[in-house]
Structure 1
Amino acid sequence: MNDKLINEMTQKYSYDWRLKILILTWEYPPNVVGGLSRHVNGLSVHLAEQGHEVHVVTAGNASLAAHEIMSGVHVHRVTPLNNQDDHFLSWIAGLNLAISYKGEKIAENIKFDIVHAHDWLVGTAGITLKEVLSIPLLSTIHATEHGRNNGIYTEMQRFIHEKELQLMTESDQVIVCSNYMREDLLANFHLSDKKITIIPNGIEPCNSKVDSNKIYPFIKNKRYIFSVGRIVKEKGFETLIEAAQAAKEQGQEIYFVIAGKGPMLERYRKMVTEKQLDHYVAFIGYVTDEERNALLMNSEIAVFPSLYEPFGIVALEAMILGKPTIVSETGGLKGIVMDRQTGLLMVPGDAESLLKNIEFLLQNPQIAEEIGLKGMKIVKSLYGWKRIASQTVNVMEDTLLHQRANMSEKTR
C-alpha cells in the first residue's frame, strides 16, 4: 500500500470520529473472575467517556440484567447455549455461539466500526463477527497458555494454544500489555512485529471507606505484609508460605495476609495449618475492591511473588496507594518496577530473596516511604486509563484506515 493513498485516507477520515465499538469478553463486572474483567471495564468506561459508543457482550447469569447501561457502557449479557455443561471447553463453545448471535442482533440496529475481542475465550465469536459484519477484528491478548505453563504439555493446553493462534492470525491488529508479552507472541506464535502494539493496563487513584480492622479483627494492631490475586500456582503464593516458615525458624515476627479465590485456596490453607504457620499466614479468600484497598492501605508492604505475570495490574493497585511494593523479576512486573527506586525486585520462587527485601524495607522505613512515593508518581503519570483508552483508539483508527485504504486500492 503506498504512502500517498494512506495520507488521502487519513485526511478523509481525520474528522472528529466517534467510533461504534463492539467489545467481547467472557467476564465483566460484577462478574469478576480475574484481572481481565477489570481491564475491560476500565477501558470500556473511558472509551465511552471520550464519546465513543461502546457495547460489551459478555457472560451473564439469572441475577444480572440482560442489558443495562453502566457508566455510559451498554452491557449485554448472554447465557451459553450449554450453560449447565461442567466441561469448561464445551461451556466456552456455547458462550461463543451465544455471543456471536447477540452481536449479530445488536448490529441489526447499529453499524459497528470494529470488534474488539479479549483473549481466546471469545476468539471464535470475534472471528465470526468480523466475517458476518465485515469489520476489522482487534484482539487483546492478556496471557498465553504457553506462558502460564512454561510450555504446552497436554491436549487441553494444545487446544487452547491453537485457539490463541487462530485468534491472532485472524485479527487485523493485536494488543499486548507489556514487552514481555510481545516477545512471547513473536517467539511462540511467529506473528509479524508490525501486527503487535504494546499498550499497558490502566489504573485509577482509589481509596476505601471500609475499616479492614473491623472486617478482619485478627489483623488489628498487627504489622502485616499484603498480597492479592487469583489463588493459582503461577501467582507464587507458595513462596510466601516458604518465607513465613523461614521467618518463624529465624524468630522473626512477619505476618502475611493473602486475599483472593481460586482452585489452590484450600490446598494452601491446609499447607499453612500442617506447617503450623497459622500465626504467620492468613489466606482470607475473596475480597471486594474496597476491602482490598483498605487492606493495602493498612499494610506495611505489598508483595506479588508471581512465577508468571504478563503484566501485573495488582502491583499498580498497591503502588498507586504509595505502598512499598516487592514484585518478582519476571514478565510484565519487571517492566513496571525499577529496583530500589519505585519498588523492589525479588528472584521468582525464592523465599530467601523475598525475606531479604522485606527485611530491607522494615529496617529502613524512610527509604521504604520514599520508594512508595516514587512508585505512586510513576504509576499516576504512565498508567492512567484516560491515556490507555486514547492509545487504544489510535490503534482502532489506524486499523480502520488501513482496511479502508486496502478496499479503495482494490477498487482502483
Structure 2
Amino acid sequence: MCGSVASSGGVSTHTRKLIENLSVEDSEILLYNYYTNEDNAKTTNIEKVYRRTFGLFFEILSNKKKYEIIHDQTSGGIFSFISSITASIASKIAGRKLIVTFHYSNTEEFVKKYKPFFNFVLKNVDTMILVSNKQKDIISKTFPQYSNKLVVIPNGYDSAFFFPRDTDECRAMLGVPVNKKVIFNISNLIDIKGHKYLIEAIGNIAKTRSDIYCIIAGKGYLLETLEQQIKDFKLEDYIKLVGWIPDDEIPIYINTSDFFVLPSLGEGNPIVMFEAIGCGKPFIGTKVGGVPEIIASEDYGLLCEPASSEALEKTIMLALNKNWDTFKIKEYAESFTWKNIAKTTKSIYGQTL
C-alpha cells in the first residue's frame, strides 16, 4: 500500500483504516508512506515529491519479491497524482499488478487539465478504484476505452469509534447548552468548505428563533475572516468556533448535535459524512461529488445546492423541524464500516490477480 499516512486528512484516514481492516482480513500489507512520519508538517515538499517519485520507484523494485499487488492511494493535484505515474512505470518493470485509488473532489477539472498523464495511468493500471459513481461517469466519458478498469468503492467510517451516544452526557462533557438545537460542522477552514454560507444561513435563522447553537471545528487560513463575519452578524451567542479538536473528541462533538452540516462547494466522498450517520445523526449538506449517492433518501439527511445561503437556510429549517430516526440512520450506515469497505477492496484484489 502506497499512500499518505499523516495526522489528518481524508486520504490519510482512508489509507490508515483500510490497512488496519485489511490486516484483520488476513492480508499482509506493506506500507510505503509518502510522509516520513505521521506529522505531515515535518515532511518538506521536496521530501514528499521525492517519496512519490524516485523513492517509490526504488521501493517497488527493491521489494518486488515481498508483494503481489501495488495499491497506490492518490489524489489531485499533480504532485499527489505523480505517485501513480511512478507506480505505472515501476509496476511494469517489476511485473506486478497495479491498483490505484483516485480521491479528488474536482475530478472533471483535473482530468481535463492533465488528460495525457491520466491516460497514461489508466493505460497501465489493472484497476482504478473511485470513491463515487460521479467520478466514474466523468472518467468513463473521457476515456471510454478504459471504463472496464473502473470500480467504485466509497469511503467509510470506524464503527467502534463512531456510534450513537447519550446526547445530554456528551453536551455535559463539552459544556454545550442542553436546551438548544445544536448543529455541528468539522472541516478545514478553507473556501471550498463553504463556511461563509453556513454563517449567513445561521444569521438569518437566528432572526426568527433563538434556540439554535452552531459549533464549527477545524483550522485553516479563514479563521480570522470567519471570526470577523460572526462578529459583524452579531452571532457570538449562536455560533462557536472551537478550532482543531483531537480525533477522540470528534464523535463526542457529533453526538452533542441534532444534525451535522457540511456546506461544501466541492467534495469527493467526505469521510465525515459516514462518521455522522454512523453516530445516527442526519447529514445536511450540498449536492456535490458523491454526497447525493450516499444521502439518497431524506431518511438519512437533506441536501441543497451549493454556494447559496438561502438554500442552506431553508434546508436547515426543514432539518430543525423534522423528526429523525436515529436507529434507521445508524442501521443504514453499517454498510459503510471500514470492515465492509476492506472486504470489498479485498475482493477487488482477488479479481485483479
Verify same fold: TM over 0.5.
yes
1:139 alignment partner, one of 81, 84, 100:
100
What's 1:390 paired with?
Answer: 343
Q: Which amino acid aligns with 2:90?
A: L
1:40 has 2:1 as partner: no
Q: Structure 1 pair 105/308, CA: closer, same or farther in 2 (3 Å)?
A: same
1:326 has 2:287 as partner: no
1:51 has 2:26 as partner: yes
Q: Structure 1 pair 219/100, CA: closer, same or farther in 2 (3 Å)?
A: farther
SS of residue paired to 1:39: helix
Residues of 1 paired with 2:209 and 2:320: CA distance? 15
What's 1:93 paired with?
Answer: 49
Q: Is the CA contact (8 Å cut-off) linking 2:34 and 2:48 kept in structure 1?
A: no
Alignment root-mean-square deviation, CA: 3.1
Please list, as runs of the form range in 1=range in 2, the aligned pairs for 1:120-269 lying within 5 A after superposition: 120=75, 121=80, 122-143=83-104, 145-147=106-108, 151=109, 158=113, 163-190=117-144, 192-205=146-159, 206-207=161-162, 216-217=174-175, 222-269=180-227
Q: Deviations over 1:143-201 (max 9, x none)?
A: 15445xxx469xxx946x65544433331110111211111222345562211011121
Q: Deviations over 1:191-233 (max 9, x none)?
A: 6221101112122322589976577546576542001123332
Q: Which amino acid aligns with 1:171?
A: V
TM-score when scaled to structure 2? 0.84
SS of residue paired to 1:183: helix
CA drift at 1:312: 2.4
CA drift at 1:377: 0.9
What's 2:3 paired with?
Answer: 25
Residues of 1 paired with 2:304 and 2:316: CA distance? 10
Q: Structure 1 pair 251/38, CA: closer, same or farther in 2 (3 Å)?
A: same
The 10-residue stretch of structure 1 (311-320 or 201-210) with the greater mean CA deviation from structure 2? 201-210
Q: Is the CA contact (8 Å cut-off) linking 2:282 and 2:301 kept in structure 1?
A: yes
Residues of 2 paired with 1:254 and 1:213: CA distance? 14
Q: Structure 1 pair 308/35, CA: closer, same or farther in 2 (3 Å)?
A: same
1:375 alignment partner, one of 329, 332, 339:
329
Q: Is the CA contact (8 Å cut-off) linking 2:162 and 2:278 kept in structure 1?
A: no
Q: Structure 1 pair 267/190, CA: closer, same or farther in 2 (3 Å)?
A: farther
Q: Structure 1 pair 263/146, CA: closer, same or farther in 2 (3 Å)?
A: farther
Q: Structure 1 pair 230/132, CA: closer, same or farther in 2 (3 Å)?
A: farther
Contiguous gaps of at least 5 residues in structure 2: none
Q: Is the CA contact (8 Å cut-off) linking 1:243 and 1:352 kept in structure 2?
A: yes
Q: Which amino acid aligns with 1:113?
A: E
CA drift at 1:298: 1.0
SS of residue paired to 2:220: coil
Q: Which amino acid aligns with 2:341?
A: I
CA drift at 1:360: 2.8
SS of residue paired to 2:329: helix
Q: Structure 1 pair 252/353, CA: closer, same or farther in 2 (3 Å)?
A: farther
Q: What is the identity percentage for the equivalent residue pairs of Structure 1 and Structure 2?
A: 24
What's 2:72 paired with?
Answer: 117
TM-score when scaled to structure 1? 0.73
Q: Is the CA contact (8 Å cut-off) linking 1:323 and 1:373 kept in structure 2?
A: no
Residues of 1 paired with 2:143 and 2:338: CA distance? 29
Q: Structure 1 pair 100/319, CA: closer, same or farther in 2 (3 Å)?
A: same
What's 1:17 paired with?
Answer: none
What's 1:305 paired with?
Answer: 263
Q: Deviations over 1:319-342 (max 9, x none)?
A: 111112212123211111134222
Q: Is the CA contact (8 Å cut-off) linking 2:302 and 2:319 kept in structure 1?
A: no
Contiguous gaps of at least 5 residues in structure 1: 1-22, 65-76, 401-412
Residues of 2 paired with 1:192 and 1:270: CA distance? 49
Residues of 2 paired with 1:48 and 1:214: CA distance? 37
